[in-house]
Amino acid sequence: MIQKLTQRSFKYYALLVVSLLFPLVGFFVYAVQYQARFFTILAAALSVNIILLFLFYRRLKLKKSELKLQREDFFEKANVMKVELQKEEGAINAFRQKILAYSQLRGFVEKVSMCLSLEDSAQTLCRELGRIFEHGDATVILYLMDAATGELAIVAAERAQRAVNIKTKRGDVLDHWVMKNLQPLHLEDTRNDFRFDMERIEKEAERPVRSILCAPMIVNNKLVGVLRLDSPVPFKFHKEDLRFLNAAGDVAAVALENAQLYDRVEDMAIRDSLTGLYLRRYLIDRLQEEITRHLRRDKRVAFVMLDLDHFKQYNDQFGHTAGDLVLKHVATLMKEHFSSPGNLLCRYGGEEFCVVLSECTKEEAVFLAKGFVKLVESEVVVLRRERTPVTVSAGVAVFPDEAKTKEELIQRADQLLYEAKRKGRNRVCSV
């Protein structure tokens, strides 16, 4: 635009100069050909033209100065507009990133909220965070507060959508800092941060850690756990990642607390509130599963039915509270004695208990049952400051040697239990 104005002004002044010089040329030719004295008039006209040209020259310089100022003003406005456009573009990109983050957070909330149990919630949480951050070498770790000890306890850990084994089961110094201060932590490069002894942390964890994101999960001013991402690569995470992790931690805290509540309610529905053992209806459902599994693998499953001897005497002599203490005492001994993985302990009803022994032969089951009978007999219970002996009787049956269905297995063990009662109690009966 400025270039066009300059060309237009140049054409205007060139035309003006030509229009002034053309009469002078004519006068000069006339004076040479016809009248020599006409040169005086020509000199006067030439002087006037020179003055006019000087004035035009000055005006032209002023115009050029004005055009130069206009040009500078134009470029200044163009630069301002360019900066504003860059700002607008940055704002648009930031807005797009926020939309993407909110979309990811929405999907994260939907998937986590669909989980009911704590195990499913923890696994979904780690898996979705790993997918969102898309860092193949980053490890996602979830710690929850242990209500019994008041310390952190690892619940789930994943890297590249696969479960990993983390040595620091109770968290390291970084996790404890977040737990203590209830503040998120972002370390771009652990080698440049002198607040923590990273050599010791890496030695305990047995893996390199260079960049870290760590956020507390809080519900109603109560710490639920700590959510952590770490990577062996420095500068892997940014401030926006920390903001997202913090928001995800708030959502995860509510979901995990609800999952813990669900697990407690579900546990109450299948466990006896007095002894902590499984209830009879749960046993019936699980026993069929165990029988089917063992039958498919051609293995034996043993069923032990237990009954407290002369239990009514404890209630009559010391009251029902004393009877509850005896039941809890026997249940505790059962948990200690039949502690092998896969065993299923149940309060069958009243003073009756039962144990499902996974992949157990008849000889092994009888040996375990006799050992438990002796254990109960050796452990004296103090009721109202009086040392009171407690004994149990047991019947042992094995599937599929002695029964073909779960009902037959239970009935056979019950028959053997009453045979032990008839033979004098405090003993084990089997075929």
d(CA 194, CA 215): 20
Q: In the block, which residue shows the tokens 């008839």?
A: 422
SS3 percent helix, strand, coil of the chain, rounded to 5, is: 60, 20, 25
Contact between 307 and 393 under an 8 Å Cβ cutoff? The reply is yes
To the query of whether residue 351 is one of the catalytic residues in this protein, the response is yes
Residues 169-197: b if buried by 16+ CB within 10 A, e if exposed: eebbebbebbbeeeebbbbbebeeeeebe
Q: Report CA-CA distances (Å) from 190 to 199, 201, 212, 232.
A: 10, 10, 8, 10
d(CA 226, CA 329): 37
- Of the candidates 351, 352, 407, 408, the residue annotated as catalytic is 351
Q: In the block, which residue shows the tokens 């509510």?
A: 254
> What is the per-residue DSSP string for 48-63?
HHHHHHHHHHHHHHHH
Q: What is the DSSP letter of 271?
A: B
Positions marked catalytic: 351
